[in-house]
């Protein structure tokens, strides 16, 4: 068609304007596009919302042939193709949800050179059929989206991605791009290797989202804290509240509604019609709070989400970054708020222990959790910690809770020793181990049935920790777990001495702890300029 011929070899900026309606490339996009248009391979590390799609869509239009996009999320594929078609781009996808007739139609269009972009799921490329089909047409570029899925160390590993290492042999001469929003050094190295991109140029965007204010506070009464946080936001703010389980999603949405907030639930177990209508209300109306599992948000294009709240601890820093990154895509001030508690730590350790994965897998998940806890418990700048995790160094930001109100610290050595020696005694002398609740009862000198029965009031540390409240002790335990001084063990998440515990028992290692402050909900989010 005429229109199509106009794009071929055209100036990328002209295509950007004409087809997508944008005035200019964003920082980084233009260089990537020129490089790929000229036929080079590229590894693109750009945060969620940074604008990765444009970097392969424009080359696909400018270069002759069809751009092949490998994307793992079928639901997302559908939305992207719809959006492209709405812009007049000839886009289609091939996946398992289509009828044989539909698939045949797409294949014919591809072979006839009538497609600008073709989206496929990675598993399609494991078999010979799709490869044969693609070899019979012309490819302009191959874009491997969510390329971190090839990393076995990552949080999102998909075995099908391992099959994408030989695309250069299957489609010689076609420029390849690997794109991801995950930028840890290990992932970066691994995807470059496994996707065989030795000559690719690397484009690493800054991961900083300066307009997002990070806030993490200890969990005491999460729903009340959540309501308090939401009420502190400007009237009519749209937000997403992430919870881990479907049940918790429904209960929380219910609770918020009863508090008079415009909240809706979203999770995979809901009826498809309800899900769709909740989603469209969130997109269309002002000030809707979506309470959702992490399934919600991928591919949701709503730039004015003013806050993202976590009432459960994310499993990894990558996950946290991706979820919080859905706030403030319009560049206006936004808040990422989280409440997290001892229960989260114990529960996630237990989930890891009980997971069917092998030892290496569990270790990896444990490392992800440790990094997440370190972010929660840092007395330094949250953003510095977060960006540091992605290999990016930065100054203290002035736009996170610890920068805005420096946390008070105290010397937790003696408290830690009391706790550790209680644990060691019980273990050595009686072969017993307990969870946080009972240990706190012992330290605070409580007189419970269990303490009397077990004779734990005879322990030398009984009542030695009465100077701290129950809440204080929970804070101590949480921080000691995060620092590896304590270790949650076994099916019941009982507490043991962690790797860093022995040095603390000997008094050789300082134990600076942050004093918990509640309700710092950030009523006046500020943008860092």
Residues at the contact surface with ligand ADP, assessed by CB under 6 A: 22, 25-26, 29, 46, 48-54, 301
Report the half-sphere exposure of 92 (CA within 13 A, side-chain side).
Answer: 17
DSSP string, 241-256: EE-SSHHHHHHHHHHH
Q: Least separation, in Å, of the C-beta of 54 and ligand ADP?
A: 4
CB of 474 to ligand ADP, least distance (A): 37
Q: Rule CB under 5 A: is residue 375 a binding residue for Zn ion?
A: no
CB of 378 vs Zn ion, minimal distance in Å: 10
Task: Tell me the closest approach of the beta carbon of residue 325 to ligand ADP, in angstroms.
Answer: 8
* Long-range contacts formed by 92-101: CB under 8 A, 24+ apart: 92/117, 92/118, 92/119, 93/118, 93/119, 93/120, 94/118, 94/119, 94/120, 94/124, 94/130, 95/119, 95/120, 95/121, 95/124, 96/121
182 vs 378 by CB, closer to ligand ADP: 182
Dihedral sign (CA 124, 125, 127, 133):
positive
Nearer to Zn ion, 106 or 400 (CB): 400
**Which lies closer to ligand ADP via its Cβ, residue 48 or residue 348?**
48
Place of tokens 């420029």: 175
| Burial category of 326 from C-beta neighbours within 10 Å (exposed 0-12, middle 13-18, buried 19 and up) | buried
Which of 19, 197, 317, 400 binds Zn ion (CB under 5 A)? It is 400
Please list the residues that pair with 117 across neighbouring strands.
67, 91
Instruction: Specify the residue, 48 or 252, whose C-beta has the smaller distance to ligand ADP.
Output: 48
For 127, phi and psi rounded to 5 degrees? -90, 165
Are 403 and 396 in contact by the 8 Å Cβ rule? The answer is yes
If 0-12 CB within 10 Å is exposed, 13-18 middle and 19+ buried, where does residue 303 land?
Answer: exposed
Q: Which is nearer to ligand ADP, 54 or 230 (CB)?
A: 54
403 binds Zn ion (CB under 5 A): yes
Q: Which of 311, 397, 459, 511 binds Zn ion (CB under 5 A)?
A: 397
Rg (alpha carbons) of the chain, rounded to whole number? 26
* 483 token code pair: 């620092």
**Closest to ligand ADP by CB, 12 or 333:** 12
Indicate the residue among 310 and 383 with the shorter CB distance to Zn ion: 383
**Minimum distance, C-beta of residue 341 to Zn ion, in the bound complex (Å):** 22
Binding partner of residue 65 among ligand ADP, Zn ion, none, CB under 5 to 8 Å per kind? none
Place of tokens 């994307």: 71
State the nearest-atom distance from the C-beta of 236 to ligand ADP, in Å.
21
Among residues 404 and 518, whose Cβ is nearest to Zn ion? 404
Q: Does 386 bind Zn ion (CB under 5 A)?
A: no
Q: Which residues contact 108 (CB under 8 A, 6 or more apart)?
A: none
Q: Alpha-carbon distance 129 to 344, whole Å?
A: 46
DSSP state for residue 400 in the 8-state scheme: B
We find the least distance from the C-beta atom of residue 400 to Zn ion, in angstroms, to be 3
Question: Smallest distance from the beta carbon of 395 to ligand ADP, in angstroms?
Answer: 25
Whole-number minimum distance, CB 77 to ligand ADP, in Å? 13
Nearer to ligand ADP, 46 or 415 (CB): 46
**What residue 54 binds from ligand ADP, Zn ion, none (CB within 5 to 8 A, per partner kind)?**
ligand ADP
CB under 5 to 8 A by kind: which of Zn ion, ligand ADP, none does 22 bind? ligand ADP
- Closer residue to Zn ion (CB): 69 or 397: 397
- Name the nearest CA neighbour of 35 among 146, 172, 208, 199: 199
Pick the closer one to Zn ion by CB: 40 or 407.
Answer: 407
Q: How many residues does the chain have?
A: 529
- Separation CA 353–CA 362 (nearest Å): 7
Q: Which residues pair with 213 in a beta bridge?
A: 335
Residue 383 binding Zn ion, by CB under 5 A? yes
| Surface-to-core class of residue 123, CB atoms within 10 Å of its CB (0-12 exposed, 13-18 middle, 19+ buried) | middle
Are the CB atoms for 187 and 154 separated by under 8 Å? Answer: yes
Q: Which does 478 bind (CB under 5 to 8 A by kind): ligand ADP, Zn ion, none?
A: none
Q: What is the nearest approach in angstroms of ligand ADP to the Cβ of residue 396?
A: 27
Give the shortest CB-330-to-ligand ADP separation in angstroms: 9
Q: Which does 397 bind (CB under 5 to 8 A by kind): ligand ADP, Zn ion, none?
A: Zn ion
Please state the closest distance from residue 83 (CB atom) to ligand ADP, in A.
8
Span from 113-121, 286-294, 352-360, 377-385 in contact with Zn ion (CB under 5 A): 377-385
Pick one of Zn ion, ligand ADP, none as the site partner of residue 48 (Cβ within 5 to 8 A by kind).
ligand ADP
Residue 29 vs 182, nearer CB to ligand ADP: 29
Q: How many residues bind Zn ion (CB under 5 A)?
A: 5
Q: Does 381 bind Zn ion (CB under 5 A)?
A: yes
User: What residues numbered 122-161 form the site for Zn ion, per CB under 5 A?
Assistant: none
Residue 49: contacted member of Zn ion, ligand ADP, none (CB under 5 to 8 Å, by partner type): ligand ADP
With contacts defined by CB under 5 A, name the span among 23-31, 361-369, 394-402, 464-472 that binds Zn ion: 394-402
How large is the angle between the packed helices 317-324 and 359-377, nearest 10 degrees? 50
In the block, tokens 């609770």 appear at 255
**Among the residue ranges 142-150, 240-248, 381-389, 433-441, the one whose residues contact Zn ion (CB under 5 A):** 381-389
Which residues face 43 on adjacent strands?
178, 202
Closest CA to 256 of 271, 240, 267: 240
For residue 86, the tally of other CB atoms under 10 A from its CB is 9
Binding residues vs Zn ion (CB under 5 A): 381, 383, 397, 400, 403
């Amino acid at each position: 068609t005429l229109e199509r011929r106009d794009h071929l070899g055209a100036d990328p900026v002209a295509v950007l304007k004409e087809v997508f309606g944008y005035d200019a490339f964003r920082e980084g996009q233009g260089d990537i596009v020129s490089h790929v248009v000229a036929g080079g391979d590229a590894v693109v590390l750009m945060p969620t919302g940074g604008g990765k799609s444009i970097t392969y869509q424009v080359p696909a239009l400018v270069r002759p042939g069809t751009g092949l996009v490998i994307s793992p999320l079928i639901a997302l594929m559908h939305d992207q193709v719809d959006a492209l078609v709405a812009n007049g781009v000839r886009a289609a996808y091939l996946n398992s949800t289509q009828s044989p007739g539909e698939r045949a139609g797409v294949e014919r269009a591809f072979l006839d050179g009538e497609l600008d972009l073709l989206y496929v799921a990675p598993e399609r490329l494991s078999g010979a059929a799709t490869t044969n089909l693609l070899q019979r047409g012309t490819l302009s570029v191959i874009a491997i989206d969510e390329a971190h899925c090839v990393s076995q160390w990552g949080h999102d590993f998909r075995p099908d991605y391992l099959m994408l290492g030989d695309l250069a042999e299957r489609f010689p001469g076609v420029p390849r791009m690997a794109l991801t929003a995950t930028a840890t050094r290990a992932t970066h190295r691994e995807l470059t290797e496994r996707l065989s991109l030795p000559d690719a140029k690397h484009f690493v965007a800054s991961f900083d989202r300066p307009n997002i204010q990070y806030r993490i506070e200890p969990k005491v009464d999460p729903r009340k804290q959540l309501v308090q946080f939401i009420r502190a936001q400007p009237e009519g703010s749209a937000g997403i509240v992430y919870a881990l389980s479907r049940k918790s999603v429904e209960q929380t949405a219910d609770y918020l509604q009863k508090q008079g907030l415009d909240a809706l639930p979203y999770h995979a177990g809901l009826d498809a019609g309800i899900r769709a209508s909740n989603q469209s209300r969130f997109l269309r109306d002002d000030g809707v709070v979506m309470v959702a599992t992490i399934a919600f948000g991928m591919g949701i294009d709503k730039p004015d989400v003013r806050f993202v709240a976590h009432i459960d601890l994310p499993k990894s820093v990558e996950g946290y970054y991706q979820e919080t990154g859905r706030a403030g895509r319009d560049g206006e001030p936004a808040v990422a708020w989280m409440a997290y508690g001892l229960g989260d730590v114990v529960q996630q350790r237990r989930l890891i222990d009980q997971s069917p994965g092998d030892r290496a897998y569990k270790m990896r998940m444990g490392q992800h959790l440790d990094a997440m806890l370190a972010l929660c418990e840092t007395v330094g700048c949250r953003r510095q910690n977060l960006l540091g995790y992605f290999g990016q160094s930065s100054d203290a930001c002035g736009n996170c809770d610890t920068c805005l109100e420096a946390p008070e610290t105290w010397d937790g050595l003696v408290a830690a020793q009391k706790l550790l020696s209680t644990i060691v005694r019980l273990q050595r002398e009686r072969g017993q181990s307990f969870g946080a609740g009972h240990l706190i009862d012992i330290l605070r000198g409580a007189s419970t049935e269990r303490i009397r029965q077990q004779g734990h009031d005879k322990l030398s540390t009984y009542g030695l920790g009465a100077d701290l409240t129950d809440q204080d002790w929970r804070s101590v335990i949480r921080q000691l777990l995060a620092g590896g001084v304590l270790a949650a063990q076994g099916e019941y998440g009982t507490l043991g001495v962690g790797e860093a515990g022995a040095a603390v028992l000997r008094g050789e290692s300082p134990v600076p702890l942050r004093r918990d402050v509640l309700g710092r909900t950030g009523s006046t989010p500020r943008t860092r300029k």
